[in-house]
Amino acid sequence: MAVVSRCSRAATAATTANATTATTFAYLIRSLSPFSSSSSTFDPQNDLNNRNKPAVLGTLKRESKGRNVQWVFLGCPGVGKGTYASRLSNLLGVPHIATGDLVRDELASSGPLSSQLKEIVTQGKLVSDEIIIDLLSKRLEAGEAKGESGFILDGFPRTVRQAEILEGVTDIDLVINLKLREEALLAKCLGRRICSECGGNYNVACIDIKAENGRPGMYMAPLPPPPQCASKLITRPDDTEEVVKQRLRIYQAMTRPVEDFYRSRGKLLEFDLPGGIPESWPKLLCALNLEDREDKQSAAA
C-alpha cells in the first residue's frame, strides 16, 4: 500500500496514539536508539569553563555499534537548524531530512502541490500537517529503499499534533532546541542567499551586537560564497522582513508548545548559540558528548 495512505491513517489516529498508528509507520522509521537522554539546558558561556566537568548530557551513552540516532532539531526560522543538522549528519553518518527542503523541491518540481505551496510559503504560513506528512513519508520510503537507517529531522515536528504522530510511531532519542536572540535571527534570515546553480547556502549578513544591560555581545561573521557562486546568488522568496516576522510570530504561537511536549518527556536539550559556527559548533559537540576529529585536525593544521 502506498506510503501516503499509511501516513494519512497515522495522522488521523494521532490523537488516540493507538497501536495501529505505530504499526502503520513501523516499517518506515526504525526504533534505533543508541542514546538515552534527559532534558537539559546548555549554557556555553558557563558550562565550558570547567574542562573537567562532565558534559551537560552526562546520561548520553553509546550503545552497540551499527545502531543509528533518531534526533530532531527545533528552533525558530533562521536559527541554523539546517547548518548544524547537516554537520551532525555527516559526523554520525545518518541522513539529514529537512522538511523545508522537501517543500522547496516540491515547489521547484511544478507538481500537483506546487501552486498551493507557493501561496502558503510566500505568505509565511505553516504548511499543513497533511502536506508535510505526505512529503516526509515519500522521503522516508525512498531512504528505506536505499538502506538508510536513523535520521536527523529538521523542521518536523512543528506542531504538537505532528509530535504526537511521530511519538506514536518511533522512539526519538533527543530533541535539540537551538536558541538565538531575535535581532540576530532577523538579520540572519534577511542575509540568507542561495546559489541558483549548485544550491549552496550562504549568508551575507555581518551580525555584530554590542554587549549592553548585562547581556553579552554577539558576533556572527558572514558566510560568503566561493568565487564561482558569487554572481549566481538569489534570495529565498520568503526571506523578506514582513514574512520573517510573521514566521517568528507563528513559531511562538504554534511551535513553542512542541518544546514543552518534549521537555515533559525528558528529551529536550536547549542550546543557546553563543555566536557563529566557529564559536557554536565545538560547544554543541561538547553538549552532545561528541567529537569532530576532522575539525580538530583542520584547526591544528
Catalytic residues: 81, 158, 192, 236, 247
Instruction: Give the burial string for 245-266 (b: 16+ CB within 10 Å, else e).
Output: ebbbeebeeebeebbebbbeee
C-alpha cell at 117: 505551496
Can you list the positions of beta strands (E) in 37-155?
40-42, 70-75, 96-98, 151-154
Could you tell me which of 236, 238, 239, 223 has the C-alpha nearest to residue 280? Answer: 223
Pairwise CA distance, residues 7 & 21, whole Å: 9
Q: 85-88 long-range CB contacts below 8 Å, 24 or more apart?
A: 85/152, 85/154, 87/281, 87/292, 88/152, 88/288, 88/290
Task: Answer for the pair 97, 152: CB distance below 8 angstroms, yes or no.
Answer: yes
Handedness of CA 133, 134, 135, 138 (dihedral sign): positive
